[in-house]
Amino acid sequence: MLIAGAFDEAGSPTIKIRVSGDRGSRDYAATIDTGFTGFVALPLVEMVPLGLSTDPGAASVMLGDGTIIENLVARGSVILGSHLAVGTILLDETSADVLIGMAFLRAFAVTLIVTDKIVALCDAAESVETVAELIQSAR
Amino acid sequence: MGQMTHPLPNPRVIAERGTKIYEQKYRTDYERESRGRYAAIDIDSECAYVANYPEEALAVAKAAAPHGTFYLVHIGSPAAFKISRRTGRAHRRSV
């Protein structure tokens, strides 16, 4: 699996994911945040159209300035390419960002590749040559 | 058009109750024995379910108490998760 991403207007790396709940699925250009320790973070408003159930449960989240907030948590399915993983999704009532974190990379067993021109996720099935070709092709 | 048939649980209420249970019943032992693992605290029964990852802790807790309300703790950390790119806006407390 080799999934190409893109940079958003702010220069942050993004990758397309599909999140599924009991009512449906939606595609998102999720920001890859290696400073996020969790799986996926979604705005709380996405909970209803997707039909995510909060179980119910909650977790605390430490933000970059040390502030601690509380989020609802839901169990959700995420598709990356043709692969599916189930994980804990944080639902934030104050943010419009869709984030994927380190637990996402672990769940899909992928390596994050970021250069000045490319963003990609690849798993162990990809050869070093294929990855090198991708990097070379962007030069 | 989809309708919400149940009010959403308040995460702050769950966190306050879960934190109180964790501090009173589990923190001392867990921080000595299970630092780095995750605990899902059932705020109704006050039972705790420990696993290596948050998904596992919540799944074990849900299996044991299907109607439970759970608060997730990362043992030894001030919060279950970190998001470095976000900062507090209208949020309530800080460390």
What is the mean pLDDT of the segment spanning A8-31?
94
B90–A94 C-beta distance less than 8 A: yes
Q: How confident is the model at residue B93 (pLDDT cuts 50, 70, 90)?
A: very low
Each domain of chain A, given as residue ranges in start order, spans: 2-137
Q: Could you report the predicted ipTM of this complex, rounded to two decimals?
A: 0.87
The predicted structure's pLDDT at residue B60 = 94
Chain B residues in contact with A33 (beta carbon < 8 A) = 83-85
Query: Do the beta carbons of residue B14 and residue B73 sit within 8 Å?
Result: no
Report the C-alpha gap between A103 and A100 in whole angstroms: 8
Q: Does domain A2-137 have CATH number 3.40.50.1220?
A: no
Residue with structure tokens 């699925």? A25
Q: How confident is the model at residue B87 (pLDDT cuts 50, 70, 90)?
A: confident
Instruction: Give the 3-state secondary structure of residue A93.
Output: coil
Chain A residues in contact with B2 (beta carbon < 8 A) = 23, 48-49, 51
What is the mean pLDDT of the segment spanning B57-84?
94
Each domain of chain B, given as residue ranges in start order, spans: 11-74
Nearest beta carbon to residue B15 from set A48, A55, A70: A70
CB-hemisphere CA count at 13 Å for A68? 17
pLDDT above 70 covers a percentage of chain A that reads 99
The predicted structure's pLDDT at residue A130 = 83
B71–A57 C-beta distance less than 8 A: yes
Q: For B36-56, how does the pLDDT look when each residue is reduced to its tens digit (9 = 90+)?
A: 999 999 999 999 999 999 989
Q: How confident is the model at residue B5 (pLDDT cuts 50, 70, 90)?
A: low
